[in-house]
């Protein structure tokens, strides 16, 4: 009996070691491409070993914001802290692997404001005070500088360029944004919403551009439905949702028109596998929005 107990104990130990090895092999950062994006800079050293986070542990690092990243199919995060030798200056580097350039743009666009100062890094980026954020390919890179003084911007740009140089896949910005009319378009206002577009779970892959005229803002939108049949089904479902409301959509030729409770206009249409339109349009800008609506529809209809 004693021998059997010893054999069982050894078996359990071997199984436990086996599971630990499997877990270590699949742990975030164990063989991660993100590791290769962390530069070694002369005059700087890591404060501690870089930390890695997966979808299941992201909340440990950004508890309140983790759901937003997960909604864009976040894959992995590495966090590294660099300290300048002989000083209290610290750079915090976060690199998010979002799985695709479109996902990276989506989460980046949700945190960017049109008035953030541009910086020529990656596909898009901005530098404001002690913060530098940019996207390149499927990666969303965020940097923060503490105690940098007058050299803050230089430190941020130095590290950002080191990271950018290590990113091999640098796919550009979403091409659909090129189809939106330019008149009145607000620079850097583009957003991509992957899920629950306009608050509807049946609408996804939405693209938004902000327009401004006479200090009044409204939005242009495109929803990529994947096929003409799916776009028609989703348009019908959206129109039917408002059919019993005080402000239904009314059919005007090939488009649908709603005037909401705030006196703003919403115009919707379909072109191939896309829904498109303008929302929150004030009364005095409706003629302009209708012209933009026609131009956007024509551009989408000509898209292969």
Question: What are the pLDDT digits (tens) for 206-215?
Answer: 999 999 998 8
Q: How many Å apart are CA 263 and CA 250, to the nearest integer?
A: 15
Res. 22: pLDDT tops 70 = no
Residue spans of the domains in the chain: they are 30-166, 175-301
Q: How many Å apart are CA 220 and CA 147, to the nearest integer?
A: 41
Res. 158: pLDDT tops 50 = yes
Res. 285: pLDDT tops 50 = yes
Q: How high is the pLDDT of residue 20?
A: 35
Q: How high is the pLDDT of residue 150?
A: 96
Q: How high is the pLDDT of residue 29?
A: 54
Q: Rounded mean pLDDT of the chain?
A: 90
Q: How high is the pLDDT of residue 60?
A: 95
Structure tokens at 184: 């009145």
Q: Which helix (H) or strand (E) holds 218?
A: strand 216-224
- Which percentage of the chain shows pLDDT scores above 90? 83
In degrees and rounded to multiples of 5, residue 276 shows phi and psi of -150, 165
Q: How high is the pLDDT of residue 8?
A: 41
- Which percentage of the chain shows pLDDT scores above 70? 89
This prediction's pTM: 0.87
What is the CATH topology of the domain spanning 175-301?
Answer: Protein Transport Mog1p; Chain A (3.40.1000)
Q: How high is the pLDDT of residue 244?
A: 82
Q: How many Å apart are CA 159 and CA 84, to the nearest integer?
A: 12
Domains 30-166 and 175-301 share a fold: yes
**Digit-coded pLDDT (tens) for 44-67:** 999 999 999 999 999 999 988 999
DSSP per-residue letters across 16-84: HHHHHHHHHHHSTTTT-HHHHT----TTEEESS--EEE-TTTGGGTSGGGHHHHHHTT--EEEEEEEEE
**Digit-coded pLDDT (tens) for 172-205:** 889 999 999 999 999 999 999 999 999 999 999 9
Indicate the DSSP class of residue 135. Answer: E
Q: How high is the pLDDT of residue 94?
A: 98
Q: How high is the pLDDT of residue 32?
A: 75
**Digit-coded pLDDT (tens) for 218-256:** 999 999 999 999 999 999 999 999 998 899 999 999 999
Q: Does domain 30-166 have CATH number 3.30.390?
A: no
Res. 19: pLDDT tops 70 = no
**More confident position, 171 or 302:** 302
Q: Tell me what the mean pLDDT of segment 21-28 comes to.
A: 40
The band of 31, judged by pLDDT with boundaries at 50, 70 and 90, is low
The band of 171, judged by pLDDT with boundaries at 50, 70 and 90, is confident
Lowest-pLDDT choice from 32-41, 79-88, 293-302: 32-41
Q: How high is the pLDDT of residue 28?
A: 54
Res. 2: pLDDT tops 70 = no
Q: How many Å apart are CA 293 and CA 282, to the nearest integer?
A: 14
């Amino acid at each position: 009996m004693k021998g059997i107990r010893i054999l069982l104990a050894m078996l359990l130990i071997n199984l436990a070691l086996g599971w630990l090895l499997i877990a270590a092999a699949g742990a975030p950062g164990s063989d991660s491409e993100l590791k290769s994006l962390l530069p070694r800079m002369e005059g700087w050293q890591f404060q501690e070993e870089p930390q890695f986070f997966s979808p299941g542990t992201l909340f440990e690092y950004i508890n309140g914001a983790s759901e937003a990243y997960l909604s864009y199919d976040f894959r992995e995060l590495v966090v590294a802290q660099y300290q300048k030798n002989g000083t209290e200056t610290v750079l915090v580097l976060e690199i998010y692997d979002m799985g695709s350039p479109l996902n990276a743009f989506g989460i980046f666009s949700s945190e960017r404001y049109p008035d953030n100062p541009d910086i020529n890094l990656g596909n898009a980026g901005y530098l404001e005070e002690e913060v530098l954020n940019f996207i390149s390919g499927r990666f969303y890179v965020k940097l923060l500088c503490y105690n940098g003084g007058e050299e803050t911007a230089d430190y941020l740009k130095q590290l950002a360029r080191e990271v950018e140089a290590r990113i091999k896949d640098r796919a550009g910005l979403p091409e659909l944004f090129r189809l939106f009319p330019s008149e009145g378009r607000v620079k850097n206002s583009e957003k991509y919403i992957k899920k629950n577009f306009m608050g509807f779970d049946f609408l996804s892959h939405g693209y938004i551009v902000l327009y401004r005229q006479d200090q009044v803002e409204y939005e242009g939108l495109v929803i990529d439905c994947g096929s003409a049949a799916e776009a028609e089904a989703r348009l019908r479902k959206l129109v039917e949702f408002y059919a019993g409301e005080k402000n239904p959509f009314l059919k005007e030729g090939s488009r649908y028109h709603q005037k909401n409770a705030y006196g703003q206009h919403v115009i919707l249409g379909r072109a191939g596998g896309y829904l498109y339109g303008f929302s929150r349009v004030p009364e005095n800008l409706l003629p302009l929005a209708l012209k933009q609506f026609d131009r956007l529809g024509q551009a989408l209809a000509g898209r292969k």
